[in-house]
């Protein structure tokens, strides 16, 4: 076991994947010489050389399309888009090209690319540098979406994403980069689509992913003081998401809350709630409740942003409502 | 045959002619099939532009790749896509090259480096950039070709692609089929610059050739390919062509001058090539025999497609993801 920060675990996953497979290459804005805006790719240029680790111009459209073309021609590109907000400029490549090539070419080819991108608020980065847009990508058939909550999962899921023959959007919450955690020295790929039980509990299931898992755990501790034991499920992968794990937990607790940092409306929580209202209907003893950001852009000022991002109290309130 | 010995040049000319003829006859057949309701959806024909596809394809090496456009039948066929898989796909039948998931705007055959026609104007440019990157990283003796129309010149994709390809000296040939029309609008009303000027601004050498002349296209493409694989970085080949039909099949083209439409025959690349072949002494009977052979091949493919059932509809989601090994 080695203690690594979340960003270091990602760096290690990239390095190990590049060492294991020559066709893995890395490019993005300021990822090579500068080592990435958050330092995540530091040292990789030096270790793997300028052919495989490249700084790109600020051209999200063409670098994303180039990742598709490279993936169709024998490489496994890992592309970084500096902020998830900037994926708006890459949408054609991701939605119309990467996601559809395997399908629309009749299975002839697949697009084994990974797009790493940070989401999330908390840095007063304002409306265009803070959004959590993962639901957009989860809505597009052909894309996979991972969003780890801790260093070990960041490592394992990124290894799996790079090995996956399909395009994977790998979402990293900026607030987690400094988070420390143990990563096994012989860690390998952690399959996409499999949830993890972050906390065992009998009274209510709280489903979450990414940085909100920690918020859900704080809420669970608060609830525990009142005798309510929450089971916290860390989805780890938003697309595909682990229905079996959520349903199995619901079958034990009979109550369900879903929490994420993204805007609540039309979000990942809505999909999970709808699916469980259907296949888990007879397990439910209360309403399914969602916790997400209000239907507003991420605000700048610290106090306003803090009020905007769902916190433990919001989850506690939601859980209580599910138990009324 | 009039002569017992023939020159290599004549064989090359004949091969280029055959490639153009195959595209022409296949698209003429598609036009009828479309009118008869046997080809669903939208199709965009390249009639009048065949010399570009045939000429460029003749210059490519076995590992070269190409990304195409919505007007991509010619690029696919010139690169060697099998006719049967092509017609099965466009007619929406089982066994189509894309399993009935793609159709005209997405025909692809990755086994021959054909990375897809594309329904998004300009999208193939970035894909070709990435394919060229793969050739460079893997050290292949190969280039990537990006076909695009003049309608794509106003897309940011062209400008971003030129910049990145120039910065990274990618083995990329950007081939513009400049037919003067951006869908339903004349390109002079759509694009303020000249492609050669844009290329020059990025330090990318370009050549403009008469895209009606298949030999001129073939020679230019071969020369540019040599420069590219020699490490010269990207090149632009602009081919001026005439789009004989509408933007899409069924387009009434009310926006075009009838007088101009009436004289398109003068710009027919096939007629120009046939005249050259005649001048070189290739007998007309040889061209007639070639036409009969091409038409027979096409009819066989159409016949096979008509006899084929529709693709099964019981596993629509089956091709969305490739299974993780």
pLDDT tens-place string over residues B50-97: 999 999 999 999 999 999 999 999 999 999 999 999 999 999 999 999
Answer whether residue B2 shows pLDDT above 90. Answer: no
B110 contacts chain A (CB < 8 A)? yes
Q: And the tokens for B28?
A: 């003429």
Is residue A129 part of the annotated active site? The answer reads yes
**Helix, strand and coil percent figures for chain B, each rounded to 5:** 50, 10, 40
Residue B1's pLDDT is what?
Answer: 45
Residues 6+ apart with CB under 8 A from B189: none
Average pLDDT of the segment spanning B106-124: 98
- Residue B5 burial by CB count (10 A; 0-12/13-18/19+): exposed, middle or buried? exposed
Q: Do the beta carbons of residue B62 and residue B75 sit within 8 Å?
A: no
Interface test with A, best of B99, B119, B133, B323 (most A CBs within 10 A): B133
Query: Which of A23, A72, A165 should one mutate to test binding to chain B, selecting the residue with the greatest count of B CBs within 10 A?
Result: A72
Enumerate the H helices of A29-133 as residue ranges: 44-48, 60-72, 91, 101-104
In whole angstroms, give the CA distance from residue B97 to residue B89: 6
Q: Which of B137, B321, B324 sits opposite A102 (nearest CB)?
A: B321
Cβ pairs bridging A and B (under 8 Å): 158
- Helix residue ranges, H only, chain B: 8-35, 50-58, 73-79, 83-90, 123-138, 156-167, 195-201, 214-227, 258-262, 269-279, 284-307
Distance CA A312, CA A318 (A): 10
CA–CA distance from B49 to each of A57, B39, B270 (Å)?
34, 21, 10
Say if residues A234 and A149 touch (Cβ distance below 8 Å): yes
**Phi, psi (5° rounding) for residue A257?**
-125, 145
Mean pLDDT of B197-212: 98
Sign of CA dihedral B234, B235, B236, B237: negative
Q: Are the CB atoms for B175 and B237 separated by under 8 Å? A: yes
Question: Parallel, antiparallel, or unpaired: how do β-strands A144-146 and A237-239 relate?
Answer: antiparallel
Strand partners for A145 = A169, A239
A111 secondary structure, DSSP code:
-
The dihedral through the CA atoms of B101, A162, B115, B147 has a sign that is positive
- 87-106 in A: which are within 8 Å (CB) of B? 92-93, 96-97, 101-106
Nearest chain B residue (CA) to A93? B123
Q: Is the ipTM of this complex over 0.90?
A: yes
Rg (CA), chain B: 20
Contacts of B136 in chain A (CB under 8 A): 51
**Could you tell me if B315 lies within 8 Å of chain A, comparing CB atoms?**
no
Distance, in Å, from the CA atom of B58 to the CA atom of B66, rounded to the nearest integer, reads: 13
Q: Is B109 at the interface with chain A, CB within 8 A?
A: yes
d(CA B151, CA B71): 12
Instruction: Identify the pLDDT of residue B7.
Output: 79
Confirm or reject contact between B101 and chain A (CB < 8 A).
Answer: yes
- Residue B165 banded pLDDT, cuts 50, 70, 90: very high
C-alpha triplet B272, B27, B277: angle, nearest 5°: 20
Contacts of A29 in chain B (CB under 8 A): none
Q: How far B99 CA sits from the closest chain A CA (Å)?
A: 5
pLDDT tens track, chain A, 324 positions? 999 999 999 999 999 999 999 999 999 999 999 999 999 999 999 999 999 999 999 999 999 999 999 999 999 999 999 999 999 999 999 999 999 999 999 999 999 999 999 999 999 999 999 999 999 999 999 999 999 999 999 999 999 999 999 999 999 999 999 999 999 999 999 999 999 999 999 999 999 999 999 999 999 999 999 999 999 999 999 999 999 999 999 999 999 999 999 999 999 999 999 999 999 999 999 999 999 999 999 999 999 999 999 999 999 999 999 998
CB within 8 Å: B129 and A107 = no
Active-site residue (options: A29, A60, A80, A163): A60
The count of other CB atoms within 10 Å of the CB of residue B159 is 20
Q: Do A65 and B322 touch (CB under 8 A)?
A: no
Please list, in sequence order, all residues whose beta carbon lies within 8 angstroms of the beta carbon of residue A261, skipping any fewer than 6 positions away.
A119, A120, A121, A132, A173, A210, A211, A212, A292, A293, A309, A310
Measured at the CA of A146, the angle between CA A143 and CA A150, to 5 degrees, comes to 170
| Listed residue (B220, B225, B209) closest to B269, CA to CA | B209
Residues 6+ positions from B7 with CB-CB distance below 8 Å: B280
For the beta carbon of residue A48, count every other beta carbon within 10 angstroms: 19
**Catalytic status, residue A139:** no
Which residues in chain A touch residue B67, judged by CB atoms under 8 angstroms apart? 69
Residue A115 to residues A98, A100, B66, B204, Cα–Cα distance (Å): 11, 16, 24, 29
pLDDT at B177 over 60: yes
What ranges in chain A are assigned the alpha helix state H? 6-20, 44-48, 60-72, 91, 101-104, 134-138, 151-163, 212-225, 243-253, 268-279, 302-308, 312-322
Across A170-179, B126-135, B143-152, B276-285, least confident range: B276-285
B151: closest CA of chain A, how far (Å): 17
Which of A25, A66, A106 lies closest to B129 in CB terms?
A66
Is B311's Cβ below 8 Å from some Cβ in A? no
> Is some CB atom of chain B closer than 8 A to the CB atom of A71?
yes
Which ranges of A21-150 does DSSP label H, i.e. alpha helix? 44-48, 60-72, 91, 101-104, 134-138
pLDDT of residue A263: 98
Q: Which residue is catalytic, options A129, A172, A260, A305?
A: A129
> Is the separation of the CB atoms in A196 and A246 below 8 Å?
no
Q: Which residues of A touch B160 (CB under 8 A)?
A: 57, 59, 61-62
Nearest CA of chain A to the CA of B93: how many Å? 12
Helical residues (DSSP H) of B111-175, grouped into ranges = 123-138, 156-167
B94: closest chain A residue by CA: A106
Helix B8-35 to helix B50-58 angle (10° resolution) is 140
Interface test with A, best of B86, B115, B130 (most A CBs within 10 A): B130
Q: What are phi and psi of B206, to 5 degrees?
A: -135, 160
DSSP annotation of B181 reads E
CB count, 10 Å around CB of A186?
A: 6
As a whole number of angstroms, the distance between CA A266 and CA A256 comes to 18
Give the whole-angstrom CA distance, residue A67 versus residue A70: 5
Chain B residues within 8 A of A25 when measuring between CB atoms: 133, 137
* Residue A139 in contact with partner chain B when CB distance is under 8 A: no
Q: Residue A207's pLDDT is what?
A: 98
């Amino acid at each position: 076991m080695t203690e690594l920060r979340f960003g270091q675990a990602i760096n290690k996953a990239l390095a190990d994947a590049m060492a294991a497979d020559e066709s893995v290459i890395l490019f993005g804005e300021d990822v090579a010489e500068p080592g990435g805006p958050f330092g995540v790719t530091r040292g990789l240029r030096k270790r793997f050389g300028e052919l495989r680790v490249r700084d790109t111009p600020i051209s999200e459209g063409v670098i994303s399309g180039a990742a598709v073309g490279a993936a169709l021609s024998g490489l496994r590109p890992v592309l970084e888009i500096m902020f998830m907000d900037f994926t708006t400029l890459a949408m054609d490549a991701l939605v119309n090209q990467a996601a559809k090539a395997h399908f629309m070419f009749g299975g002839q080819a697949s697009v084994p690319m990974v797009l790493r991108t940070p989401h999330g608020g908390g840095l007063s980065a304002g409306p265009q540098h803070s959004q959590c847009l993962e639901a957009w990508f989860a809505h597009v058939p052909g894309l996979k979406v991972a969003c780890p909550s801790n260093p070990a999962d960041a490592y394992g899921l990124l290894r799996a994403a790079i090995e996956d023959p399909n395009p994977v959007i790998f979402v990293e919450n900026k607030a987690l980069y400094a988070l420390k955690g143990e990563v096994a020295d012989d860690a390998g790929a952690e399959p996409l689509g499999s949830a993890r039980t972050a906390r065992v509990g009998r009274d209510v299931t709280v489903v979450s992913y990414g940085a909100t898992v920690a918020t859900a755990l704080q809420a669970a501790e608060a609830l525990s003081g009142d005798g309510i034991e929450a089971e916290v499920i860390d989805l780890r992968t938003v697309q595909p998401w682990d229905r079996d794990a959520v349903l199995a937990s619901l079958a034990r607790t009979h109550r369900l809350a879903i929490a994420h940092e993204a805007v609540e409306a039309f979000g990942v929580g809505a999909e999970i709630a709808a699916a469980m209202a259907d296949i888990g209907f007879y397990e439910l003893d209360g309403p399914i409740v969602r916790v997400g950001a209000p239907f507003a852009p991420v605000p700048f000022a610290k106090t306003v942003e803090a009020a905007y991002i769902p916190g433990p109290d919001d989850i506690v309130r939601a859980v209580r409502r599910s138990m009324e | 045959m009039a002569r017992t010995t023939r020159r290599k040049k004549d064989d090359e000319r004949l091969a280029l002619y055959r490639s153009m003829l195959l595209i022409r006859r296949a698209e003429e057949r598609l036009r009828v099939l479309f009118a008869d309701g046997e080809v669903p959806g939208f199709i965009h024909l390249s009639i009048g532009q065949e010399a570009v596809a045939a000429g460029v394809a003749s210059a490519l090496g076995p590992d070269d790749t190409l990304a195409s456009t919505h007007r991509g039948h010619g690029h696919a066929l010139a690169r060697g896509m099998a006719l049967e898989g092509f017609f099965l796909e466009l007619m929406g039948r089982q066994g189509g090259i894309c399993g009935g998931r793609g159709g005209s705007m997405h025909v692809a055959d990755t086994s021959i480096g054909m990375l897809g026609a594309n329904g998004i104007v300009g999208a193939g440019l970035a894909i070709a950039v990435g394919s060229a990157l793969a050739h460079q990283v893997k050290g292949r003796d190969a280039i990537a070709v990006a076909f695009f129309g003049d309608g794509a010149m106003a897309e940011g994709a062209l400008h971003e692609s030129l910049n990145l390809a120039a910065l990274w000296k990618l083995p990329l040939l950007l081939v513009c089929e400049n037919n003067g029309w951006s869908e339903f609008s004349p390109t002079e009303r759509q694009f303020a610059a000249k492609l050669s000027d844009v290329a020059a601004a990025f330090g990318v050498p370009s050549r403009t050739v008469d895209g009606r002349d298949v030999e001129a296209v073939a020679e230019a493409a071969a020369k540019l390919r040599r420069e590219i694989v020699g490490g010269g970085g990207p090149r632009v080949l602009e081919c001026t062509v005439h789009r004989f039909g509408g933007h899409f099949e069924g387009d009434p083209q009310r926006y075009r001058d009838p007088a101009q439409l009436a004289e398109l025959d003068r710009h027919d690349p096939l007629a120009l090539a046939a005249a050259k072949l005649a001048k070189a002494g290739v007998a007309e009977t040889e061209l007639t025999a070639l036409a009969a052979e091409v038409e027979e091949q096409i009819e066989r493919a159409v016949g096979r497609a008509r006899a084929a059932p529709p693709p099964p509809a019981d596993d629509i989601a089956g091709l969305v993801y490739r299974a993780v090994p």
